[in-house]
Amino acid sequence: NLSIKDLCIEYEGKQVLSSIDIEIKNAHSIAIIGPSGGGKSTLLRIIAGLETPSSGNISINGKDIAFRENFLNEYRKSIGVVFQSYNLFPHISAIENITLPLVQIHKLDKKDAVQRAESLLKRFQLMDHSHKRPSQLSGGQQQRVAIARAIAIKSQFLLLDEPTSALDPELTSEVLDMIDELKGEYRDLILVTHEMGFAKKACDYTLFIADGKVIEHGHSKDIFENPKSEQLMGFLDKIL
Protein backbone atom coordinates (compact mmCIF):
# COMPACT_ATOMS: atom_id res chain seq x y z
CA ASN A 1 0.00 0.00 0.00
CA LEU A 2 1.27 3.39 -0.96
CA SER A 3 -0.31 6.60 0.20
CA ILE A 4 0.93 10.01 -0.89
CA LYS A 5 -0.69 13.15 0.46
CA ASP A 6 -0.28 16.59 -1.01
CA LEU A 7 3.34 16.00 -1.94
CA CYS A 8 5.26 18.94 -3.42
CA ILE A 9 8.88 19.54 -4.21
CA GLU A 10 10.59 22.44 -5.86
CA TYR A 11 14.09 22.99 -7.13
CA GLU A 12 15.42 26.51 -7.51
CA GLY A 13 11.95 27.94 -7.08
CA LYS A 14 10.50 25.73 -9.79
CA GLN A 15 7.72 23.32 -8.84
CA VAL A 16 8.83 19.86 -10.00
CA LEU A 17 6.10 17.86 -8.29
CA SER A 18 2.91 19.59 -7.28
CA SER A 19 0.21 18.26 -5.00
CA ILE A 20 0.61 14.57 -5.65
CA ASP A 21 -2.29 12.83 -3.93
CA ILE A 22 -2.77 9.12 -4.37
CA GLU A 23 -3.84 6.13 -2.38
CA ILE A 24 -2.97 2.73 -3.78
CA LYS A 25 -4.12 -0.44 -2.09
CA ASN A 26 -3.41 -4.07 -2.83
CA ALA A 27 -0.83 -3.42 -5.51
CA HIS A 28 2.50 -5.18 -5.24
CA SER A 29 3.97 -3.84 -8.42
CA ILE A 30 3.50 -0.24 -9.51
CA ALA A 31 4.72 1.22 -12.79
CA ILE A 32 5.43 4.94 -13.16
CA ILE A 33 5.24 6.17 -16.75
CA GLY A 34 5.29 9.56 -18.42
CA PRO A 35 7.25 11.95 -20.59
CA SER A 36 10.84 12.94 -19.91
CA GLY A 37 11.25 15.63 -17.30
CA GLY A 38 7.82 14.95 -15.81
CA GLY A 39 9.13 14.14 -12.35
CA LYS A 40 9.21 10.33 -12.29
CA SER A 41 12.75 9.98 -10.97
CA THR A 42 12.17 12.76 -8.48
CA LEU A 43 9.16 10.94 -7.05
CA LEU A 44 11.11 7.70 -6.87
CA ARG A 45 14.00 9.42 -5.09
CA ILE A 46 11.60 10.87 -2.53
CA ILE A 47 10.08 7.44 -1.94
CA ALA A 48 13.61 6.08 -1.55
CA GLY A 49 14.33 8.66 1.15
CA LEU A 50 17.05 10.27 -0.96
CA GLU A 51 15.28 13.57 -1.38
CA THR A 52 13.10 15.58 0.99
CA PRO A 53 9.86 17.05 -0.28
CA SER A 54 8.94 20.68 0.34
CA SER A 55 5.66 19.49 1.83
CA GLY A 56 3.42 16.47 2.07
CA ASN A 57 3.45 12.94 3.45
CA ILE A 58 4.20 9.48 2.17
CA SER A 59 3.34 6.28 3.89
CA ILE A 60 4.19 2.79 2.78
CA ASN A 61 2.24 -0.13 4.16
CA GLY A 62 0.86 2.12 6.85
CA LYS A 63 4.20 3.53 7.96
CA ASP A 64 5.02 7.19 7.42
CA ILE A 65 8.38 8.14 6.00
CA ALA A 66 9.73 10.70 8.45
CA PHE A 67 12.02 13.06 6.58
CA ARG A 68 14.53 13.38 9.42
CA GLU A 69 18.13 12.34 9.09
CA ASN A 70 18.23 9.64 11.78
CA PHE A 71 15.05 8.01 10.49
CA LEU A 72 16.16 8.24 6.88
CA ASN A 73 19.51 6.59 7.56
CA GLU A 74 17.75 3.45 8.78
CA TYR A 75 14.97 3.68 6.23
CA ARG A 76 17.33 3.84 3.26
CA LYS A 77 18.97 0.61 4.37
CA SER A 78 15.62 -1.13 4.21
CA ILE A 79 14.96 -0.56 0.53
CA GLY A 80 16.70 -1.70 -2.60
CA VAL A 81 17.24 0.90 -5.29
CA VAL A 82 18.38 0.50 -8.89
CA PHE A 83 19.04 3.63 -10.93
CA GLN A 84 18.99 4.43 -14.62
CA SER A 85 22.70 3.84 -15.08
CA TYR A 86 26.05 3.93 -13.29
CA ASN A 87 24.80 1.50 -10.72
CA LEU A 88 27.86 -0.45 -9.81
CA PHE A 89 31.11 0.42 -8.07
CA PRO A 90 33.53 0.37 -11.03
CA HIS A 91 36.71 -0.67 -9.25
CA ILE A 92 35.53 -3.96 -7.74
CA SER A 93 34.16 -7.23 -9.12
CA ALA A 94 30.54 -8.19 -9.62
CA ILE A 95 30.46 -10.35 -6.53
CA GLU A 96 32.18 -7.70 -4.42
CA ASN A 97 29.58 -5.21 -5.58
CA ILE A 98 27.00 -7.43 -3.92
CA THR A 99 28.94 -8.37 -0.79
CA LEU A 100 30.39 -4.96 0.06
CA PRO A 101 27.11 -3.31 1.16
CA LEU A 102 26.07 -6.49 2.96
CA VAL A 103 29.24 -6.45 5.04
CA GLN A 104 29.74 -2.72 5.49
CA ILE A 105 26.20 -1.46 5.86
CA HIS A 106 24.24 -4.50 6.93
CA LYS A 107 26.99 -6.01 9.11
CA LEU A 108 26.78 -9.52 7.75
CA ASP A 109 29.73 -11.88 8.18
CA LYS A 110 31.89 -11.99 5.08
CA LYS A 111 31.13 -15.70 4.73
CA ASP A 112 27.36 -15.21 4.84
CA ALA A 113 27.59 -12.30 2.43
CA VAL A 114 29.53 -14.36 -0.09
CA GLN A 115 27.08 -17.21 0.25
CA ARG A 116 24.13 -14.94 -0.34
CA ALA A 117 25.82 -13.25 -3.29
CA GLU A 118 26.71 -16.57 -4.89
CA SER A 119 23.23 -17.92 -4.63
CA LEU A 120 21.87 -14.81 -6.35
CA LEU A 121 24.54 -14.89 -9.04
CA LYS A 122 23.72 -18.54 -9.69
CA ARG A 123 20.03 -17.87 -9.80
CA PHE A 124 20.46 -15.16 -12.38
CA GLN A 125 23.05 -17.01 -14.47
CA LEU A 126 25.85 -14.64 -13.54
CA MET A 127 28.24 -17.05 -11.83
CA ASP A 128 30.64 -17.09 -14.79
CA HIS A 129 30.96 -13.34 -14.48
CA SER A 130 31.28 -12.97 -10.73
CA HIS A 131 34.97 -12.05 -10.80
CA LYS A 132 34.61 -9.42 -13.55
CA ARG A 133 34.56 -5.70 -13.03
CA PRO A 134 31.56 -3.75 -14.32
CA SER A 135 33.48 -2.53 -17.38
CA GLN A 136 34.00 -6.17 -18.40
CA LEU A 137 30.27 -6.94 -18.29
CA SER A 138 27.58 -6.21 -20.85
CA GLY A 139 25.00 -3.57 -19.98
CA GLY A 140 22.39 -6.23 -19.29
CA GLN A 141 24.74 -8.15 -17.04
CA GLN A 142 25.59 -4.96 -15.15
CA GLN A 143 21.95 -4.17 -14.55
CA ARG A 144 21.29 -7.74 -13.42
CA VAL A 145 24.16 -7.49 -10.94
CA ALA A 146 22.73 -4.16 -9.76
CA ILE A 147 19.33 -5.76 -9.23
CA ALA A 148 20.92 -8.75 -7.47
CA ARG A 149 22.72 -6.30 -5.18
CA ALA A 150 19.49 -4.47 -4.45
CA ILE A 151 17.62 -7.65 -3.52
CA ALA A 152 20.55 -9.17 -1.61
CA ILE A 153 19.68 -6.99 1.36
CA LYS A 154 16.28 -8.70 1.52
CA SER A 155 14.49 -5.43 1.39
CA GLN A 156 10.78 -5.44 1.27
CA PHE A 157 10.80 -2.67 -1.30
CA LEU A 158 12.56 -2.54 -4.54
CA LEU A 159 12.63 0.75 -6.43
CA LEU A 160 13.83 0.65 -10.03
CA ASP A 161 14.38 3.72 -12.15
CA GLU A 162 14.41 2.76 -15.83
CA PRO A 163 16.65 -0.24 -15.28
CA THR A 164 16.52 -1.03 -18.98
CA SER A 165 16.85 2.43 -20.50
CA ALA A 166 20.48 1.92 -21.49
CA LEU A 167 19.98 -1.53 -22.98
CA ASP A 168 19.25 -2.92 -26.42
CA PRO A 169 16.06 -4.98 -26.88
CA GLU A 170 17.58 -8.37 -26.19
CA LEU A 171 19.24 -7.28 -22.96
CA THR A 172 16.08 -5.43 -22.01
CA SER A 173 14.06 -8.61 -22.04
CA GLU A 174 16.77 -10.33 -20.01
CA VAL A 175 16.39 -7.71 -17.27
CA LEU A 176 12.59 -7.56 -17.50
CA ASP A 177 12.41 -11.35 -17.11
CA MET A 178 14.45 -11.02 -13.97
CA ILE A 179 12.15 -8.33 -12.58
CA ASP A 180 9.13 -10.42 -13.46
CA GLU A 181 10.59 -13.33 -11.56
CA LEU A 182 10.99 -11.19 -8.44
CA LYS A 183 7.34 -10.33 -8.43
CA GLY A 184 6.43 -13.79 -7.28
CA GLU A 185 8.22 -13.15 -4.01
CA TYR A 186 7.22 -11.19 -0.97
CA ARG A 187 8.59 -8.00 -2.45
CA ASP A 188 6.79 -4.87 -3.50
CA LEU A 189 8.26 -3.00 -6.36
CA ILE A 190 7.94 0.38 -7.98
CA LEU A 191 9.34 0.67 -11.45
CA VAL A 192 9.84 3.74 -13.61
CA THR A 193 9.81 2.47 -17.16
CA HIS A 194 9.38 3.26 -20.82
CA GLU A 195 8.55 -0.39 -21.49
CA MET A 196 4.80 -0.04 -21.87
CA GLY A 197 4.24 -3.70 -22.71
CA PHE A 198 5.94 -4.72 -19.51
CA ALA A 199 4.10 -2.14 -17.39
CA LYS A 200 0.79 -3.37 -18.73
CA LYS A 201 1.49 -7.05 -18.43
CA ALA A 202 3.61 -7.27 -15.33
CA CYS A 203 2.56 -4.39 -13.05
CA ASP A 204 -0.66 -4.33 -11.06
CA TYR A 205 -0.98 -0.60 -11.08
CA THR A 206 0.23 2.30 -13.23
CA LEU A 207 0.78 5.99 -12.49
CA PHE A 208 1.04 8.41 -15.37
CA ILE A 209 3.02 11.50 -14.42
CA ALA A 210 3.47 14.58 -16.59
CA ASP A 211 4.49 18.12 -15.70
CA GLY A 212 4.90 17.19 -12.06
CA LYS A 213 1.38 15.90 -11.64
CA VAL A 214 -0.26 12.52 -11.54
CA ILE A 215 -2.56 12.85 -14.51
CA GLU A 216 -4.08 9.37 -14.32
CA HIS A 217 -3.62 6.30 -12.23
CA GLY A 218 -5.32 2.96 -12.00
CA HIS A 219 -5.00 -0.72 -12.71
CA SER A 220 -2.53 -1.17 -15.52
CA LYS A 221 -5.03 -2.81 -17.81
CA ASP A 222 -7.41 0.17 -17.53
CA ILE A 223 -4.67 2.73 -17.97
CA PHE A 224 -3.40 1.17 -21.17
CA GLU A 225 -6.67 -0.02 -22.69
CA ASN A 226 -8.88 2.78 -21.60
CA PRO A 227 -6.94 6.02 -21.13
CA LYS A 228 -9.18 8.94 -20.26
CA SER A 229 -7.11 12.10 -20.44
CA GLU A 230 -5.88 13.71 -23.63
CA GLN A 231 -2.39 13.74 -22.21
CA LEU A 232 -2.21 10.00 -21.58
CA MET A 233 -3.81 9.21 -24.93
CA GLY A 234 -1.27 11.42 -26.67
CA PHE A 235 1.59 9.87 -24.73
CA LEU A 236 0.55 6.31 -25.51
CA ASP A 237 -0.03 7.15 -29.17
CA LYS A 238 3.44 8.56 -29.44
CA ILE A 239 5.23 5.77 -27.66
CA LEU A 240 3.41 2.68 -28.95
By CB under 6 A, name the binding residues for ligand ATP: 11-12, 16, 34, 36-42
Q: How many CB atoms lie within 10 A of CB 37?
A: 12
Using the minimum distance from each CB to ligand ATP, give the nearer residue, 83 or 124.
83
Using the minimum distance from each CB to ligand ATP, give the nearer residue, 22 or 100.
22
In the list ligand ATP, Mg ion, none, the entry touching 116 (Cβ below 5 to 8 angstroms by class) is none
In the list ligand ATP, Mg ion, none, the entry touching 39 (Cβ below 5 to 8 angstroms by class) is ligand ATP
Dist. CA 74–CA 70, nearest whole Å: 7
Q: What burial class does residue 84 get, using C-beta atoms within 10 Å of its C-beta: 0-12 exposed, 13-18 middle, 19+ buried?
A: middle
Dist. CA 152–CA 100, nearest whole Å: 11
Alpha-carbon distances of 54 from 11, 13, 43, 110, rounded to whole Å: 9, 11, 12, 40
Using the minimum distance from each CB to ligand ATP, give the nearer residue, 108 or 203.
203
Q: How far is the CB of 184 from ligand ATP (least distance, A)?
A: 28
Q: How far is the CB of 38 from Mg ion (least distance, A)?
A: 8
Q: How far is the CB of 52 from ligand ATP (least distance, A)?
A: 12
In the list Mg ion, ligand ATP, none, the entry touching 70 (Cβ below 5 to 8 angstroms by class) is none
In the list ligand ATP, Mg ion, none, the entry touching 101 (Cβ below 5 to 8 angstroms by class) is none
Q: How far is the CB of 161 from ligand ATP (least distance, A)?
A: 7
What stretch of H or E contains 44?
helix 40-47
> C-alpha dihedral over 133, 138, 142, 143, to 10 degrees?
180
Dist. CA 173–CA 189, nearest whole Å: 18
Dist. CA 9–CA 148, nearest whole Å: 31
Using the minimum distance from each CB to ligand ATP, give the nearer residue, 12 or 128.
12
Using the minimum distance from each CB to ligand ATP, give the nearer residue, 67 or 92.
67
